[in-house]
């Protein structure tokens, strides 16, 4: 069994996932085989592995930082909120149950036994495992049966570093208070703390750091500055939803529904200099975007009602009539159809509801979830914004409960030619005859930079702008460069030598 280290936080969204990815990259650069591990993750953003198993997206980008393929055991328990204080419980990539929060709390002891076996088997394959906690480590009301933070650290017998976010204020109090609320045994496991997201002059912190170390009796291992490194952020409390629009040639607006999932589908647009994006909420209206995106959803019918009641549905229809591009992914694709049917009450009591009606499709929700990775080719003879994309290669993953039947007024978008590593041949997705309404089940389709850049260039051409050379760096190459930038940042501002020493000394104690 290799070395291990666990990052826990004083709260959610303090930067644990990013720091975990950074440490993963550093250990990889130093020649170790390394992998991420998060025992329990609660998120609507998920990913499908090559085996067709579902896992949280944070461990996917952390695996990328390690230079390895993501597997479900990196995130053995994934919780997907489904409303009314219930959640879907996914264990080792497969749906196990849909239960209430109180039922899940009682279920944790069973999961704890499974996690011990999973972690022991998992960690044998790597020199270093970088573990990540969930939320706050000091949730004393949830201490009993904890499997996410100190409970998992105990299962794995891992040393812990606690991360605090100075950007939100009160970082000294949050770190000291967290240590105060831990039990004596838990405090012994904490070997240091990190102050994250600092803006300003570091020397102004020195006196505070010294006093903090005297209070908590463990060292501050570094102060990491706020950075603009473009790495996935799966937390719904994210600054990208509040980012002000920049001036650009192409403007994209994404409908931010209450149950929006997999908004990481749109990260690639942030890497394109001629593109600005804006997330549109309930109290807001669409401006005059060149492209409107309806994202995936964990509760498609509820989110469709939200779009309807907010007035956004009529705005989307008006913009489509003016020739703007409307693009739906997964649940957003289903909403664009004529009907959504739920005969088995998968999503609730509503058995049938009219869709937005921009695509000639009808969707029926099934009891079983589709989870698969696919490769595809854009179909021929498409019009409008898809006119010159025929034959382009795309790939992605599907996570959905519905099956969509297409009518005579639409063309298919893709021909699927590989599914979970096996050659297949079937059609997927829909495009209206005018070529300005597109729907697909493929999460990650925009990550194919040649496809996305060609689509953006078609928008530019429609606006009378010159096309931009499509010979651009792949999104994968862009991300790898960002992981290296993150590693450089952490090497500069963290005591990496001390972190190595913490892992080695703990291994010697075992």
Q: Are 48 and 442 in contact (CB under 8 A)?
A: no
87 catalytic? Reply is no
Q: What angle do CA 291, 296, 302 make, to 5 degrees?
A: 110
Complete DSSP assignment for 343-395: TT-SSSS--EEE---SSSEEEEEEEEEEEEEEEEEEPSS--GGGTT-TT-EEE
443 catalytic? Reply is yes
- In angstroms, rounded to a whole number, what is the distance separating the alpha carbons of residues 65 and 224? 18
Number of Cβ atoms within 10 Å of the Cβ of 104: 19
Q: Write down the catalytic residue from 24, 66, 87, 330.
A: 330
Q: Write the DSSP symbol of residue 268.
A: G
Q: Report the DSSP pairing between strands 352-354 and 339-341.
A: antiparallel
Place of tokens 């403007």: 251
Q: Write down the catalytic residue from 251, 400, 443, 493.
A: 443
- In angstroms, rounded to a whole number, what is the distance separating the alpha carbons of residues 321 and 425? 34
Q: Are 47 and 74 in contact (CB under 8 A)?
A: no
417 CB contacts (<8 Å, ≥6 apart)?
375, 376, 377, 423, 424, 425
- In angstroms, rounded to a whole number, what is the distance separating the alpha carbons of residues 473 and 476? 8
Q: What angle do CA 479, 91, 60 make, to 5 degrees?
A: 5
- In angstroms, rounded to a whole number, what is the distance separating the alpha carbons of residues 8 and 364? 42
Calculate the alpha carbon distances from 118 to 36, 91, 113, 152, 158 in Å.
Answer: 13, 11, 9, 12, 15
Which of 129, 99, 167, 174 lies closest to 34 in space, CA to CA?
129
Q: Are 45 and 263 in contact (CB under 8 A)?
A: yes
The tokens for 178 are: 């967290």
Q: Write the DSSP symbol of residue 169.
A: S
- In angstroms, rounded to a whole number, what is the distance separating the alpha carbons of residues 58 and 75? 9
Chain Cα centroid distance, residue 285: 26
Active-site residue set: 330, 443
């Amino acid at each position: 069994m290799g070395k291990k280290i666990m990052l826990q936080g004083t709260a959610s969204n303090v930067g644990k996932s990013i720091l975990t990815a950074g440490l993963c990259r550093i250990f990889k650069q130093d020649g170790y085989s390394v992998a991420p591990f998060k025992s329990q993750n609660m998120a609507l953003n998920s990913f499908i592995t090559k085996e067709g198993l579902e896992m949280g997206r944070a461990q996917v980008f952390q695996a990328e930082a390690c230079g390895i393929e993501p597997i479900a055991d990196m995130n053995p328990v994934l919780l997907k909120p489904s409303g009314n204080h219930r959640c879907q419980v996914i264990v080792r990539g497969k749906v196990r149950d849909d239960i209430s929060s109180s039922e899940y709390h009682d279920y944790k002891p069973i999961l704890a036994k499974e996690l011990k076996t999973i972690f022991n088997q998992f960690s044998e394959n790597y020199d270093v495992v970088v573990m990540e906690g969930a939320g706050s480590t000091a949730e004393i009301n949830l201490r009993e049966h904890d499997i996410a933070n100190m409970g998992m650290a105990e299962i794995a017998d891992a040393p812990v570093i606690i991360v605090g976010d100075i950007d939100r204020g009160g970082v000294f109090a949050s770190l000291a208070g967290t240590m105060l609320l831990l039990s004596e045994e838990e405090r012994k496991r904490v070997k240091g703390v990190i102050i994250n997201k600092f803006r300003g002059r570091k020397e102004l912190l020195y006196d505070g750091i010294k006093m903090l170390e005297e209070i908590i009796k463990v060292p501050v291992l570094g102060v990491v500055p706020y950075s603009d490194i473009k790495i996935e952020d799966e937390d719904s409390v994210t600054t990208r939803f509040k980012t002000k629009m920049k001036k650009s040639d192409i403007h994209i607006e994404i409908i931010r529904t209450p149950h929006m999932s997999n908004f990481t589908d749109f990260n690639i647009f942030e890497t394109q200099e001629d593109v600005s994006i804006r997330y549109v909420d309930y109290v807001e209206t669409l401006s005059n975007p060149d492209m409107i995106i309806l994202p995936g959803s964990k509760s498609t019918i509820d989110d469709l009602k939200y779009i309807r009641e907010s007035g956004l549905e009529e705005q989307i229809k008006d913009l489509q009539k003016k020739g703007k591009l409307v693009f739906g992914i997964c649940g957003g694709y289903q909403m664009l159809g004529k009907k959504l049917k739920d005969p088995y009450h998968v999503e609730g009591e509503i058995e049938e509801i009219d869709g937005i009606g921009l695509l000639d499709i009808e969707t029926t929700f099934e009891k079983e979830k589709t989870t698969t990775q696919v490769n595809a080719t854009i179909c021929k003879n498409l019009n409008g914004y898809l006119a010159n994309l025929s034959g382009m290669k795309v790939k992605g993953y599907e996570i959905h409960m519905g099956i969509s039947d297409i009518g005579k007024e639409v063309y298919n978008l893709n021909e699927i030619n590989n599914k979970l590593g096996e050659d297949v041949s079937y059609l997927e997705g829909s495009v209206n005859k005018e070529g300005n309404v597109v729907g697909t089940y493929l999460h990650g389709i925009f990550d194919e930079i040649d496809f996305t850049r060609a689509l953006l260039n078609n928008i530019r051409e429609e606006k009378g702008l010159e096309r931009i050379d499509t010979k651009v760096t792949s999104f994968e190459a862009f991300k790898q460069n960002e992981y290296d930038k993150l590693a450089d940042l952490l090497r500069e501002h963290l005591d990496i030598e001390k972190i190595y020493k913490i892992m080695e000394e703990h291994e010697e104690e075992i």
